[in-house]
Amino acid sequence: MKTPAFPGLAGRLPVPPAFRYRDFRLFWSGLLMSVLGFQLLQVTHTWLVYDLTESARYLALLGLVTAVPTIVLNLFGGVVADRFDQRRLLIVTQGTSALLIASLATLAAMEAVTVAHLLVVAFVSGAVLAFDTPSRQSLYPHLIHRDDLMNAVALNTSIWQGTRIIGPAIGGVVIARAGGAAAAYYLAALGFLIMVGMLSAIRVPPIERGPAMNVLKSMGEGIGFIRGNGVFAFLIGLTFFNSFFGMSFIFLLPIFAEDILGVGSEGFGYLHAASGIGALGMTFVAAALGKTRWKGPLLIGGATTFGLLLIAFALSRSYPLSLVILFLMGSSSTLYMVLVMTTLQARVPDRLRGRVMGIYGMTWSLLPLGAVQSGFVADLVSAPFAVAVGGAAVAAFALGLGASSRRVRGIGLPTAEAGAVSLRATPWVHVRASRLRASSGTPRGTCGRTARFRVT
């Protein structure tokens, strides 16, 4: 339902289009707290594992036990999201996460926590995430009008980029000065519980679901849909190249800070922040591009630019120049990944949304494995060579397959969109009829009643 957002400021401050929907505002607010809790969890987990073991191997093991169940179960999680009520699934996954984290907090407060506890919780949390991600990605498109989809995607992305900057800082302060790991864990659990409360207040319209079939056949249908659609295959492939090759530079930043640029730990923090600030800034730009007709060229250009900037960063030996390049890298990568998600959400049929989002989430779950390949190449040759290879791979994929495809280049153009009607989501949205008259020609006699229309 579209309802006035922040009525006291109406007419005085611009309101993002997606925030005009009550249910999306509730979802976004809950997601903000949940993701902040997730960032606190990651920081506290990492710090506590190293504090207990003083071993880098255990840090690697922590990443592995978190990633493996997510990768293995993501597609199954998508099948479940397509078959059951996504809102209720999210309440279960978010509540389970809160319970797990609160258990760790209690153990930490009792000074009884061990590395085994941390690894077990990380493994179970990874499994829960495999069901949480496709359910979450499948739910929010039904809370808005499809014309505001890119704005909603950008707003959701801003949460991840913003909390990536402030989350670790909050976690560090809480651990050092406000109660230690136990307090940080309790705060993280509270974030997940707030999301549960917001989900309980959301009203979700009816969602189309496909016929029930066995799990393997359902998985095969989702994979077959992507393989049979060139645009979807390109977008999923680009996401894989981004997470496996492109974003692996993050894990090599300590080498650049210490050995190549010679700026130490403080400089390392600024390098990390430059990318995050660029990414966060671009989410606000992307939020204003919802109705642009040039999504295809922007997507291809953003991915190619990101790849070329990775090569430039690998070649840079100037600290100020490296900061500028990282800022631009964050901006360009966010632009094309927002466009990827917007296109996927706009074109995927409702009955397959969970499975497609599960496969999309699986590509992001491969990020730790990207760290393995980049670390191996860096050890074998050098860190700059590993980053340059990753950048070349992303740019080559974007230019080689994206620029050569008329359908990819045409994403956002009326002719391309018209040809994709059969693939689009068809969410039902409840709005006031009086708000529809100007744009859809709804008769004045319906004013004051609730209209129900299908977005096509």
Q: What is the pLDDT of residue 427?
A: 40
| Full DSSP string of 189-253 | HHHHHHHHHHHHH--PPP---PPP--HHHHHHHHHHHHHT-HHHHHHHHHHHHIIIIIGGGGGGH
Q: Buried (b) or exposed (e) across 114-152, using 16+ Cβ within 10 A?
A: eeebbbebbbbbbbbbbbbbbbbbbbbbbbbbbebbbbb
Question: Sorting pLDDT into bands at 50, 70 and 90, what band is 12?
Answer: low
How far is the CA of 180 from the CAs of 33, 108, 174, in angstroms? 20, 9, 6
Q: Which tens digits make up the pLDDT trace of 95-141?
A: 999 999 999 999 999 989 999 999 999 999 999 999 999 999 999 99
The pair of structure tokens assigned to 407 is 């359908």
Question: Which of the two residues, 276 and 450, has the higher pLDDT score?
Answer: 276
How far is the CA of 14 from the CAs of 9, 143, 279, 339, 345, in angstroms? 9, 20, 22, 23, 25
Mean pLDDT, residues 323-328: 95
CB 287 within 8 A of CB 154: yes
Q: Is the dihedral of CA 207, 208, 213, 218 positive or negative?
A: negative
Q: Which tens digits make up the pLDDT trace of 247-290?
A: 888 878 888 888 899 887 678 778 878 888 898 888 888 877 76
Q: Assess whether pLDDT exceeds 90 at residue 213.
A: no
Contacts of 328 (CB under 8 A, 6+ apart): 278, 305, 309
Strand-pair category, 450-454 with 428-432: antiparallel
Q: What is the pLDDT of residue 9?
A: 45
The pair of structure tokens assigned to 281 is 């800034």
Question: Sorting pLDDT into bands at 50, 70 and 90, what band is 189?
Answer: very high
How far is the CA of 318 from the CAs of 111, 143, 275, in angstroms? 45, 46, 16
**CA atoms of 220 and 380, how far apart (whole Å):** 38
**CA atoms of 410 and 398, how far apart (whole Å):** 14
Question: Sorting pLDDT into bands at 50, 70 and 90, what band is 429?
Answer: very low
Question: Which of the two residues, 428 and 414, has the higher pLDDT score?
Answer: 414
Phi first, then psi, for residue 303 (nearest 5°) are -65, -40
Q: Which of 222-226, 269-273, 386-390 has the highest mean pLDDT?
A: 386-390
Give the angle subtended at the CA of 183 by the CAs of 179 and 185, to the nearest 5°: 150
CB 117 within 8 A of CB 107: yes
CB 333 within 8 A of CB 269: no
Burial (CB count within 10 angstroms: exposed 0-12, middle 13-18, buried 19+), residue 223 = middle
pTM: 0.78
Contacts of 53 (CB under 8 A, 6+ apart): 115
Q: Which of 23-27, 203-207, 288-292, 450-454 has the highest mean pLDDT?
A: 23-27
**CA atoms of 183 and 176, how far apart (whole Å):** 10
**CA atoms of 379 and 219, how far apart (whole Å):** 38
Q: Assess whether pLDDT exceeds 50 at residue 444.
A: no
The pair of structure tokens assigned to 133 is 């991600």
Mean pLDDT, residues 58-66: 81
Q: What is the pLDDT of residue 410?
A: 74
Question: Which of the two residues, 194 and 216, has the higher pLDDT score?
Answer: 194
Look at residue 382 and give its three-state secondary structure: coil
**CA atoms of 207 and 139, how far apart (whole Å):** 9
Question: Sorting pLDDT into bands at 50, 70 and 90, what band is 454?
Answer: very low
Half-sphere exposure of 449 (CA within 13 A, CB side): 8
Q: What is the pLDDT of residue 438?
A: 39
Contacts of 74 (CB under 8 A, 6+ apart): 130, 133, 134, 358, 359, 361, 362, 365
**CA neighbor of 186 nearest in space, from 124, 125, 98:** 98
What are the beta bridge partners of residue 190?
none
Domains of the chain and any CATH numbers? 1-207 (1.20.1250.20), 214-425 (1.20.1250.20), 426-456 (no CATH)
Q: What is the pLDDT of residue 452?
A: 37
CB 65 within 8 A of CB 193: no
CB 85 within 8 A of CB 139: no
Q: What is the pLDDT of residue 7?
A: 54
pLDDT above 90 covers a percentage of the chain that reads 34
